[in-house]
Amino acid sequence: MKVIGLTGGIASGKSTVSQYLREKGAAVLDADAIAHALAEPGGSIYCAYRSHFGDGILQSDGSLDRAAIGKIVFADPAEKEWLDKAAHPLIQAEIERQLAVEKQREVPLIVLDVPLLFEAGWDKMTEENCLVDVSEMVQLKRLMQRDGYDEQAARARMAAQMPLEEKRRRADRLIDNNGDLPATLRQVDRLWKEWTHDGFSQ
């Protein structure tokens, strides 16, 4: 079975496509959800943060106080650097563990759903990488609609990411999500056939 990386800029339609792939039977490993779970009490990110920053970053119920951590790293670039580096290998280890579990199952396709696929270097864990692609205008419109941002706030969020042009260059496959939803899902159907019926096996 193939392992595919799925990525896209903010509001490009990545969640829409990954949800459809899930419905078709793919095992989708969601990097954001994994990171979130590891930051729950007892998780590896939780333990790393707690031993580095101390109990001052815990709320009264024992969970991480994200605002307190935010204050620390905002005030100290060295702490920010530590934070950025600390979570990455922990998330990677968990993705690798879940990949090994999924490979034992009879799933037709494994999808790594990672917003920062290229930035984090996780495109090297996959056989093909697929970008959900939209024009800047469509991205802006959908982001404003979905999250209720004004144009300036939406543009600031888009500018904080790796340019889509760079992602396009690095992706093996593009899903054009500028059209309506059925047009996008038809492209996913075609890719699904290729990914699951090309005789490739690991």
Contact residues for ligand ADP, defined by CB under 6 A: 8, 10-16, 142, 146, 177, 180-181, 184
Nearer to ligand ADP, 8 or 43 (CB): 8
Helix or strand (DSSP H, E) at 27: strand 27-30
Pick from 201, 190, 182: nearest CA to 109: 201
Q: Which value, in Å, is the radius of gyration of the alpha carbons in the chain? A: 18
Nearer to ligand ADP, 103 or 190 (CB): 190
> Distance between CA 155 and CA 136 in Å, rounded?
9
Least distance in Å: CB of 183 to ligand ADP? 7
Least distance in Å: CB of 144 to ligand ADP? 10
Assign 142 to helix, strand or coil: helix
Residue in the shown chain whose Cβ atom is closest to ligand ADP: 15
Nearer to ligand ADP, 10 or 86 (CB): 10
Q: Amino acid letter at 131?
A: L
Least distance in Å: CB of 23 to ligand ADP? 14
What is the separation of C-alpha 139 from the centre of its chain, rounded to a whole number of angstroms?
A: 17
Least distance in Å: CB of 190 to ligand ADP? 16
